[in-house]
Structure 1
């Protein structure tokens, strides 16, 4: 996946996240909405991780196409 595709996916996920969060402020979220919001947040973290991997590969003269999306369980366990 190229950087532009990753950015497009991030934009889609951010838009969905904003819709869910604005709904939370109004009528509240259903359990399905809360589940979907958690999924969207995880997918965003995964996309940002992939983008960082690609940028690091470019920085160190490696092929960015070799970067692979890591499992959500791995991405979510990073220390901040």
Structure 2
């Protein structure tokens, strides 16, 4: 694991922590403010982008390619995936 991958994993950890905090606050209190709802959505999208980047970096590495060529994809692209 290189430094960049470690940074991505650290970012994921921080975002997960923030997401849990916001979700916990929404269930303990009477929901979230509009700003908090917006922040939660931003965190969710950013998490999707980080996971996507990490998966693509690992795939490139697995096939002998340079993982540093992977870049963060736009939110619209990452959020447009279909199951």
Pairwise TM-score range, normalised by the shorter structure: over 0.9
Partner of 1:24: 26
**Residues 32-56 of structure 1, C-alpha deviations (whole Å, 9 max, x = no match):** 1111100000000000000011011
For structure 2, the residue ranges without an aligned partner over 5 or more in a row are none
The residue that corresponds to 2:10 in the other structure is: 8
Output the TM-score relative to the length of structure 1: 0.96
Tell me which stretches of 4 or more aligned residues in structure 1 moved more than 2 Å.
none
SS at structure 2 position matched to 1:37: helix
Secondary structure, counterpart of 1:18 in structure 2: helix
Aligned length: 80
Instruction: Compute the TM-score of the two structures, normalised by the length of structure 2.
Output: 0.93
